[in-house]
Chains A and B, each alone.
Chain A
Amino acid sequence: MTSTAAPPGAPPTGREPDRPPRRRRRFSARDRHDFWVFLALVLPNVALIIAFAYRPVLTNIQYSLLNWTLGSQTATFVGLDNYVRFLTSPSSVTILWTTLVFTVVTVGGSMVLGLLIALALNRRVPGTGVARAAVFSPYVLSGVGVGLVWLFVFDPTIGVLGSVLRAFGGTAPDFFNDPTLSLVMICVVYVWKNMGYAAVIYLAGLQSIPRDLLEASALDGASPRRTFVKVVLPLLSPTTFFLLVTSVLNSLQAFDLIRIMTPLGRGTTTLIYEAYLQAFGGYNRGGYSAAVSTILFALLVVFTMVQLRWMEKRVHYA
C-alpha cells in the first residue's frame, strides 16, 4: 500500500490522470512533506538496525575468511580454512552432537511439559490464573540469576537436591564434574525456565478449540483420550509448529545458563558457546569464532526456511 511511486521532489505531472481522483487532490506538497516526516521518524531506527544487525552479518562472514587474532591490527586471508578446520576437527563432532542433544531435549521437554500444564490450566477451575502466572514467571527472569540459584541446588556436596537424595538413601550425582550430568543439569534448568512459555501458548491454542467440537466427540462415545488424540492434537498442530520453530531457534541461541553454570563448557559446549569460547574464552581466535557463528547462522536460516515450507504444506489449519 504505497501512496506514490513518483520520486520525491519531482513534479508529478503526466502521471496524475492514471490515479483515482481522490489521490490527485492530495498529491505533491503534502506528499513531499510526508516523505521527509517519514524519514525523520523511521531513519534512526533503520540506521541502527543496519549498523548493528545487518552490517555484522556481512562483516562476520568477512572475518571468518581471515586468520585473525582478536585485538590484533593485522590479519591474513585464509579463504575457507577456518571452516575446513572446524568441520575436520574431532571436537566438532562432539560440539554438533551436544548442540543436537541439547536442542532436542530442551525443545521436546518444554513442549511436552508445557502441553501437560496447559491441559491442566484449561480445566478452568479457580486459581488457574495464579498458576499460569507462576509457571510463566521463570521465563522473564535473568538467566544468570536463575543459573546461580540452580547451581546451589545441584551442588554435589551441599546442594539441597543431593541432601534430599541422600535422605532417601541415594547418592548425590556429580553434576559439576561429569560432562554428561552437566548437560543434563543445563537441560533441566533450561526446561524449567522455558516450559511456562510453551504452556501459555498451548493454553491459548486449547482455548481456541470450539467447545461443541469436543462435546460432539464425547457424544459420539469417544473416550477423553481418543478425543485428545483424534481431535485436540490435530487442531493444535499450528500451535505445535509455531512452538517447534521458535523453541528450536531459542535453544540454538541459549547462552546465559551455559556460561554461568558451566563456564568451561565441559560437556555443554554447543555451537554458540564454542563461538563465544574461541573469541572470548582466552583463545582470541577471531576468524575461527566468526566461522563457527557463521555456521550457526546458516543453520538458523536453513532451519527457518525448511520449517516455513513444511508448515505451509503440512499443518492443519482449523
Chain B
Amino acid sequence: MRALTPRKLADAALSAYVPLLLAVIVVVFPLLWMVFSSFKPLPEIITRTPELFPADPTWTNYATATDRLPFAQVFVNSVLVTTIGSAIKVALAILTAYGLVFVRFPFKNVIFAGLLVTLMVPPQVSLLPNYTLITAFGGADTYWGIILPGLGTAFGTFLMRQHFRTLPPSLLEAAELDGAGHWRRLTRVVLPVSGPTVATVALVTIVNEWNDYLWPLVIVSRPDMMTLPVGLTLLANVDNRAAAYGQLMAGSVAVIVPVLIVFIALQRHIIAGLTQGAVKD
C-alpha cells in the first residue's frame, strides 16, 4: 500500500469503509437481535418500543421451547443426522473421486458427466418419488429415512476430483513401484496430501446437512424424530406468535449459532468450498 495522504485516507473511508460498515451492520444486526432477544422475558418481547439488550436477562425462553418440543432430542437428532450423513457422503466423495482419477476404467468421463448433471436436478423434483419410495419401505420417522436419499454426492466428488487431478503422477507411480495397492495408495499417499480439500468438502457437507429442510420436513412427523429446522417449524406453528417469539429466537440460536461458530473459525475453507468452480478460469 502506498503512503496514505489525508486525501487518500478520506477517499478510502468513503469508498470502502462507509459501504462496508453499512453492509456489515445490516448483516450482523438481525443476528445480534436474535441472540439478545432469546434472553428477553416476555414483557420485553411484547413491546412496541423494543431495545437491543435485555434489561432482565433470563433462560425462560429456552426452558419454554424445551417444554413445547423435545428440544434436547431434536438437537441430538440434528447432530446425529449431520454426522452420519456427512461422514458417509465425504467417504463416498473420496472413493468416487479416487476411482475416477486414479483407477483405469472405460468411459470415466461419461460417468463423471452423469454425476454432474444431477447437480441440476432440484430436490423438489425428486421429492414425491423419493417420499413414496422411502415411506413404502417404512422409512418415515426414521434416521435412515432422513439420511439415505441425500447420500449420493456429486458436489463432493467434483471438488475431490478437481484436487486429485492436481497431484503429481510421480507421487503415485512411486507408490505403485513399491507394490502398494489402491487402498494403500489412497490412505498412505493421496489422503495425507489432501487434508485441506477433505476439510473443505466435509465442512460444506456438514453445513448443508445441518440446514437441510425440505426432505426432513416431509419425511418426519413425530416431534422426537425431528431435526432442528423441522422442530422450529413446529414451534412456529402457534396461534399467538407474538408471545412465542422468545422461544423462536431461542430455537434460532440453536440452529444458527453452531454453524456461525464453525464458520467464524474456518471461514476461509468454507467460502473457498462454496465458491469453487466459479472463481477459476
Contacts and interface: CB of A to CB of B under 8 A. Distances in A.
B100 A152 contact: no
A242 interface: yes
B10 interface: no
B258 to A, nearest CB: 10
B150 A52 contact: yes
Interface string A2-19: 111100000000000000
B199 interface: no
Contacts of A1: 108-109
B248 interface: yes
A144 B253 CA distance: 11
A197 B85 CA distance: 25
A117 B129 CA distance: 41
B122 A297 contact: yes
A267 interface: no
A216 interface: no
Contact of A145 (B12, B122, B256, B263): B256
Interface in A110-163: 113, 116-117, 119-121, 123-125, 127-128, 131-146, 148-153, 155, 157-158, 160, 162-163
A142 B152 contact: no
A245 to B, nearest CB: 10
Contact of B27 (A127, A134, A263, A276): A134
For chain B, which range describes its interface: under 10, 10 to 19, 20 to 34, or 35 or more residues? 35 or more
Contact of B232 (A148, A160, A249, A296): A148
Nearest to A261: B236
B270 to A, nearest CB: 6
B163 interface: no
A35 B23 contact: no
B105 A56 contact: no
B99 A37 contact: yes
Contacts of B123: 253
Interface in B41-92: 45-50, 92
Contact of B15 (A123, A151, A301): A123
A140 B126 contact: no
Contact of A42 (B12, B99, B125, B126): B99
Contacts of A151: 236, 241, 245, 248
B152 A49 contact: yes
A88 interface: no
A38 B99 CA distance: 5
Contacts of A149: 30-31, 33-34, 249, 252, 256
A142 to B, nearest CB: 4
A192 interface: yes
A301 B27 contact: no
Given A117-B19, A158-B48, A57 B259 contact: no
Contacts of A163: 48-50
A238 B12 CA distance: 28
Contacts of A304: 120
Interface stretch (A78-86, A90-98, A179-187, A285-293): A285-293
A121 B16 CA distance: 7
Interface in B254-281: 255-256, 259-260, 263-264, 267, 270-271, 274-275, 278-279, 281
Given A123-B15, A152-B37, A3 B105 contact: yes
Nearest to A52: B149
Nearest to B150: A52
B92 A157 contact: no
A37 B260 CA distance: 40
Contacts of B50: 158, 160, 163
A42 B28 contact: no
Nearest to B93: A45
Contact of A153 (B30, B114, B124, B210): B30
Contact of B245 (A145, A152, A238): A152
B26 interface: yes
Contact of B126 (A60, A137, A146): A60
A52 B129 CA distance: 8
A34 B104 contact: yes
29 contacts: A4-B104, A34-B103, A38-B99, A38-B103, A41-B99, A45-B96, A52-B130, A53-B152, A56-B126, A63-B129, A116-B19, A117-B19, A123-B16, A136-B267, A140-B211, A141-B211, A142-B213, A142-B255, A144-B232, A149-B31, A149-B33, A152-B37, A158-B45, A160-B50, A192-B30, A272-B124, A276-B124, A286-B128, A300-B120
Given A56-B130, A163-B48, A197-B275, 4 more contacts: A51-B152, A56-B126, A56-B129, A144-B211
Interface of A: 1-5, 31, 34-35, 37-38, 41-42, 44-49, 51-57, 59-60, 63, 70, 113, 116-117, 119-121, 123-125, 127-128, 131-146, 148-153, 155, 157-158, 160, 162-163, 166, 192, 196-197, 200-201, 204, 238-239, 242-243, 246, 249, 252-253, 255-256, 259-260, 263, 272, 275-276, 279-280, 286, 289-290, 293-294, 296-297, 300-301, 304
Interface of B: 1, 12, 15-17, 19-20, 23-24, 26-28, 30-31, 33-34, 37, 45-50, 92-93, 95-96, 98-100, 103-109, 111, 114-115, 118, 120-130, 132, 148-154, 157, 182, 207, 210-211, 213-214, 217-218, 228-229, 232-233, 236-237, 241-242, 245, 248-249, 251-252, 255-256, 259-260, 263-264, 267, 270-271, 274-275, 278-279, 281
